[in-house]
Amino acid sequence: MKRRNFISAVGATAAIGSLSSCSNSEKNCSTDTATKQKVIKWKMVTTWPKNFQGLGEGAEFLARIINEMSGGRLNVKVYGSGELVPALQTFDAVSSGTAEMGHGASYYWKGKMPSAPFFTTVPFGLNATEIQGWLLKGGGYELWRELYQPFGVRPYTVGNTGVQMAGWFNKKIKSLEDIKGLKMRIPGLGGEVLDRAGGTPVLIPGGEVFTALETGAVDAAEFVGPYNDLAMGLYKAAKYYYYPGWHEPGTTAEAIINQEAFDALPEDLQMIVEQACHAASLDMQAEFTAKNNSALQVLINEHQVQLLKLPDDVLIKLRKISEQVVEDIANNSEIGKRIFKSYNAYKKQVRSWHAISEYAYNDSLRLSD
């Protein structure tokens, strides 16, 4: 509530400031004020079901704070997947100007830009904190915008789920042999790794995961983590819940904005949009961190889900395949090579530091008295 009051106060202050230049005696005061307060209306299309917790709510939160921070001058209306365009046509809708804004994840656009998944997540790659550092302070944002620029689209980070779960399975995974022939819903570079491991990756939007798993259209499926997976009811369609999410160690949600629509905004509204995206990013990551474990306990204790860890030898083999997949994808284009170089250089230096900070601290928690 304090946060909402603060945001509202910022918007109210902006509105009052615009009024202060007029006096009651000025004949054209109301006309001038109305002009200054002209409302710009945007549509936001998303890859998530309408108001779906965590991700869908993240889109609604972003739209709301843009409206409040702008004092009502920029009004963003959110459309869930399928309401205006299908989930996986979000990027095209923003690129064409059908919608001014979108909310989703860059790995859904791998077919257009093979290197796009680098800005969502990389198997065995950067975690949530690390990828935020690369995007904001390590050159990632500049490369991301360069990649999207030919499509007239401007990207922003608007959240992170943290390390995800490996997924839901109807059979136990004891070795890499159990993955061969497995038809699994898994997007991005993780899907490429599954393919080389002998499985069949299937790309379907989040809103269709439960039906695909329940009907047997796929043998296994990953979505996000306990918070979202519980709400989706995936425990009704599969009984084995595996961790860790090797394929998505720190999954970044993105906002995409039509560049022409962005350029048409006054400078102060451009800044509000940018800062609202960063505020939404912090909010989403905090929500997943706060809600995942309680949801996991419900899955285990109330729905008798079997929580299992992928065998070490499976993870080792998947990591080896991942390294080759990531390098091959990067070498598809000149910009891909530069993204890969930047990502790897940042990963090397940040992990050198985290080896004696974050990772060392985590290891200390496992020590017994």
Domain that holds residue 232: 167-249+302-334
The verdict on residue 202 lying in a domain is yes
Percentage of the residues of the chain whose pLDDT score is greater than 70: 90
Q: Give the phi and the psi of residue 22 in degrees, each rounded to 5.
A: -110, 145
Mean pLDDT over 73-94 rounds to 97
| Whether the predicted pLDDT of 5 surpasses 90 | no
Report in angstroms the alpha-carbon separations of 219 from 134, 224, 228, 243.
35, 17, 19, 17
Report in angstroms the alpha-carbon separations of 172 from 235, 326, 345, 366.
15, 27, 37, 27
Mean pLDDT lowest among 23-32, 89-98, 220-229: 23-32
Rg (CA), the chain: 22
pLDDT score, position 19: 35
Evaluate whether 205 touches 80 at the Cβ level (below 8 Å). Answer: no
Other residues' Cβ atoms within 10 Å of the Cβ of residue 249? 20
Say if strands 220-221 and 183-185 run parallel, antiparallel, or are unpaired.
Answer: parallel
The pTM for the full model equals 0.87
| Whether the predicted pLDDT of 77 surpasses 70 | yes
The verdict on residue 203 lying in a domain is yes
Q: Give residue-wise pLDDT tens across range 117-127.
A: 999 999 999 99
Mean pLDDT over 16-25 rounds to 39
Given the structure tokens 């250089």, which residue do they identify?
345
Given the structure tokens 């439960």, which residue do they identify?
210
The verdict on residue 217 lying in a domain is yes
pLDDT score, position 18: 40
Mean pLDDT over 148-159 rounds to 98
The verdict on residue 231 lying in a domain is yes
The verdict on residue 131 lying in a domain is no
| SS3 call for 309 | strand
Mean pLDDT over 15-39 rounds to 46
Q: Give residue-wise pLDDT tens across range 198-248.
A: 999 999 998 899 999 999 999 999 999 999 999 999 999 999 999 999 999
* Alpha-carbon gap, residue 193 to 13, rounded angstroms: 52
- Pick the more confident residue, 367 or 41: 41
| Mean pLDDT across the chain | 91
The total number of structural domains that make up the chain = 1
Q: Give residue-wise pLDDT tens across range 128-151.
A: 999 999 999 999 999 999 999 999
Peptide bond before 155: cis, by omega within 30 degrees of 0? no
The verdict on residue 237 lying in a domain is yes
Q: What CATH number is associated with residue 173? A: 3.40.190.10
The verdict on residue 328 lying in a domain is yes
| Whether the predicted pLDDT of 292 surpasses 60 | yes
| Whether the predicted pLDDT of 270 surpasses 50 | yes
| Whether the predicted pLDDT of 3 surpasses 70 | no
The verdict on residue 282 lying in a domain is no
Instruction: pLDDT band for 369, please (50, 70, 90 cuts).
Output: low
Q: Classify residue 21 by its DSSP letter.
A: T
Instruction: pLDDT band for 160, please (50, 70, 90 cuts).
Output: very high
Q: By C-alpha distance, which of 206, 208, 218, 231 is closest to 296?
A: 231
| Whether the predicted pLDDT of 11 surpasses 50 | no
| Whether the predicted pLDDT of 284 surpasses 70 | yes
